[in-house]
Chains A and B, each alone.
Chain A
Amino acid sequence: MATTLAEATSLTSERRQLSAEVKQLLVDRLSLEVDPTMIGDDQPLFGRGLELDSIDTLELAMAVEDTFGIAITDDDTDSLLSLNRLVDHIQANRP
């Protein structure tokens, strides 16, 4: 099915807004000393990216569940690898 320019623009802006919300959530819930607007969409969350550690995964999963009502289980921990993947997971599971 073809997507009109207007639809594509609206989807992009929705995605951008969701990404911004998730960045703000990351900073707030994990007490990061980072400006949320400086977090890149493809930035890895762990290791050399935002330097989160394995224990932060649980807090992040709880934050996503509290805010968006979407669970992250042992089967979809890949969605915590980067901000884009996390936003994909939220978009795919939104009611």
Chain B
Amino acid sequence: MTTVAPATAKSSAVVAARGGGVMSADEIARLLPHRHPFFLLDRIISLEPGVKAEALKNVSVSDGVLAGHFPGRMIYPGVLQVECVAQLAAVIYGSAAAQSAIGETVADVANRVGYLAEIRQAKFLKPVIPGDQIVFRAQSGPRLGSLISVEGQASVGRDVVMTVRLVVTERDAEQ
């Protein structure tokens, strides 16, 4: 007789490990307040809490935004790629907060997510289309008060498709 393990955080970590990742979509959802249709990252594949991370996003025709952007010429919007980097930045500082609170990289810390404060030097180097798998890389830079500088990049295969510098904010959980 086999028993079915309950769906716990531990079992979803196993799922992430099986996919070669370090954090599953369900685990990312504990760090971010975003939900459908604005929850954008599929998996975290490398993570150094508080410093840098890499994420996967699969672009599929089933994503409703492609129905309007554009009919007959589907392109994944550049602004959403920028948002993906902002969400990855929140994973970087959220996992650091989780680690200092409970010693693990995943915890319910979505209330720490602040705002996107600045977008600088965004470049969209190549269109992203359905079927592409985007790898996002973000690196956290200097911070001052609640402001955090972030450098981000997106690539599909060997091609860099987007680069950007952002400023995001982190909130104290009590705020």
- Give residues in A with beta carbon < 8 Å to B: 54-55, 57-59, 61-62, 65, 71-74, 77
Contact = CB atoms under 8 A, between A and B. Distances in A.
Contact of B149 (A62, A72, A74, A77): A62
B144 A77 contact: yes
Given A55-B147, A55-B167, A62 B141 contact: yes
B173 to A, nearest CB: 18
B117 interface: yes
7 interchain residue pairs of minimum CB distance: A58-B147, A58-B144, A55-B117, A55-B118, A61-B144, A62-B142, A57-B144
21 contacts: A55-B117, A55-B147, A55-B167, A57-B144, A57-B147, A58-B142, A58-B143, A58-B144, A58-B147, A58-B149, A58-B167, A59-B149, A59-B167, A61-B142, A62-B141, A62-B142, A65-B142, A71-B142, A72-B144, A77-B144, A77-B145
**Which has the most chain A C-beta neighbours within 10 Å: B143, B144, B149, B167?**
B144
Contacts of A59: 120, 149, 167
A50 B121 CA distance: 22
A72 B118 CA distance: 20
Contacts of A57: 144-145, 147
Given A55-B167, A58-B167, A74 B145 contact: yes
A74 B117 CA distance: 18
A12 B143 CA distance: 33
A65 B9 CA distance: 41
Contacts of A58: 142-144, 147, 149, 167
Given A55-B118, A55-B167, A58-B149, A74 B144 contact: yes
Interface in B135-154: 141-145, 147, 149
B120 to A, nearest CB: 8
A4 B143 CA distance: 42
Contacts of B167: 55, 58-59
Contacts of B145: 57, 74, 77
**Which has the most chain B C-beta neighbours within 10 Å: A54, A59, A73, A74?**
A59
